[in-house]
Structure 1
């Protein structure tokens, strides 16, 4: 027997937004729920998933999550990123779990179909032990990313793929380079990465044992550790969707407006 699990990594000590998992977000109808609860509810709405757990190192998050019925796995404070926290959470999951999805605790608007697509890709047995989604950039989005880069802002992470649909590289710079006279072409191979990950148990178990990648430390992108070690990362092209992460207090009204527009209570 095999099983799937969604792990929601959550930490209290965020540099940009301390106590972020406990921030309240009002949905349609005005009910306020914490970010961690909304992330858990999004995970619970994914069909065919056997286990959903919150992985944290903080008792305040544990108490809040258990109060609304979530299962919590305590993980070390030393976890450097969400993938390490998911790997630490494996000890609290049944041995039958062979696929784990890392659903970021600050992205409650992640569509269920996006998670399902990662699970299906890993179940397909095409060789990759890691899968992650990306959105193909329309010309206007590409121009916005380039404008952000020129202004010194990080507008998102982009990824370039090989013919097998596996990642060649992820970067906070806009890649690949597109000449000015080709920016309006439809179907350009420019993909905006979405920070959701699916792992086989073997790949996730191996992650903490891999050497820290210099590229990972420069870019601040945890998935580069897999590529640096020669482990393939499959990229699943997802349908366009309005996604917004809660990174600072200014994001709260934006996400609340999206919750209301989608009728999410």
Structure 2
């Protein structure tokens, strides 16, 4: 199945205007995201999608393909859908790779591409999750004491289809040794027709309750396939606020670059 990666990159962030162009150790966030996407195999196109000409010009400066999409797009999924027409994308599968997920290992995207490449037609959306060891789980529990909305967990069935996503830690571990806790990674790949269906659905009750847009798909009977991935010792982080830039830079200095 042919796959395209779309990178939504909004200039007009309320908290951090011009965020995609922020330098991280001398290279903009957007160029870093694009390099990660280009490091995958089996992907026929990587397209940056933005509402601002300044992002387009910046993307072109490092050789990326970029298109303008409406400012009215409310989220990455809507901008990805708008990109299908704006960039004449004909691929059957679309990966939405958010422009602030700057420490995403390329093998996480690769696992999503590979799931589509298997050719099995029994799911609409694919998204990754990683199992938490005891230390990671303890850290998540501690994090939620200060910020209850930090971190999302997912439970899924024997076919790796999602049963539920939550800001609560699921499952409740009454007796150890039966199952594990998986932390959801907020990346999504859609079959083309599933993306169109999703963006035309109204926000759903559980989505609005938990603040998790993927619940809209589950509440409307869409199948969300989980691919389990291993960060191989790399630290998960994104840039949401100015202070995050130094945090990400320190991680890269300690762990090294993800791609050349």
Structure 2 counterpart of 1:8 = 7
TM-score, with structure 1 as normaliser: 0.89
User: In the alignment, is residue 78 of structure 1 matched against residue 78 of structure 2?
Assistant: no
Q: Does the 8 Å CA contact 1:139/1:186 hold for their aligned counterparts? A: no
Give the aligned partner of residue 48 of structure 1.
Answer: 42
Report what 1:244 is aligned to: 237
Q: RMSD of the alignment, in Å?
A: 1.9
Within 5 Å, give how 1:118-133 maps onto structure 2: 118-124=112-118, 125-133=120-128
In structure 2, do the counterparts of structure 1 residues 117 and 176 end up closer, same or farther at CA, with 3 Å as the change threshold? same
Measure the CA separation in 2 of the matches of 1:17 and 1:166.
35
Shift of the alpha carbon at 1:230?
0.6
Contact 1:7 1:102 (C-alpha < 8 Å) held by counterparts: yes
Query: Deviation digits for residues 63-83 of structure 1, max 9, x if unmatched?
Result: 211222211121122222111
1:56-99 C-alpha deviation (Å, 9 max, x unpaired): 11222122112222111211222221111111111134453001
Given the alignment, which residue of 194, 197, 214 partners 1:223? 214
Runs of 4+ in 1 over 4 A off after TM superposition: none
Q: Distance in 2 between matches of 1:172 and 1:197?
A: 18
Name 2:150's counterpart in structure 1.
155
Equivalence map 1:1-265=2 (5 Å): 3-26=2-25, 32-94=26-88, 96-124=90-118, 125-179=120-174, 182=175, 185=176, 188-240=179-231, 241-260=234-253, 261-263=255-257
* Secondary structure of the corresponding residue to residue 203 of structure 2: coil
For residue 169 of structure 1, give the secondary structure of its aligned residue in structure 2. Answer: strand
Partner Cα distance (1:62, 1:218) in 2: 36
Name the CA shift for 1:238/1:187 in 2 (closer, same or farther; >3 Å).
farther
CA distance in 2, matches of 1:186, 1:143: 16
Structure 1 SS opposite 2:159: coil
**Equivalences, count:** 255
8 Å CA contact 1:122, 1:199 repeated in 2? no
Shift of the alpha carbon at 1:6? 0.5
TM-score by length of 2: 0.90
Task: Show structure 2 runs of 5+ residues with no match.
Answer: none
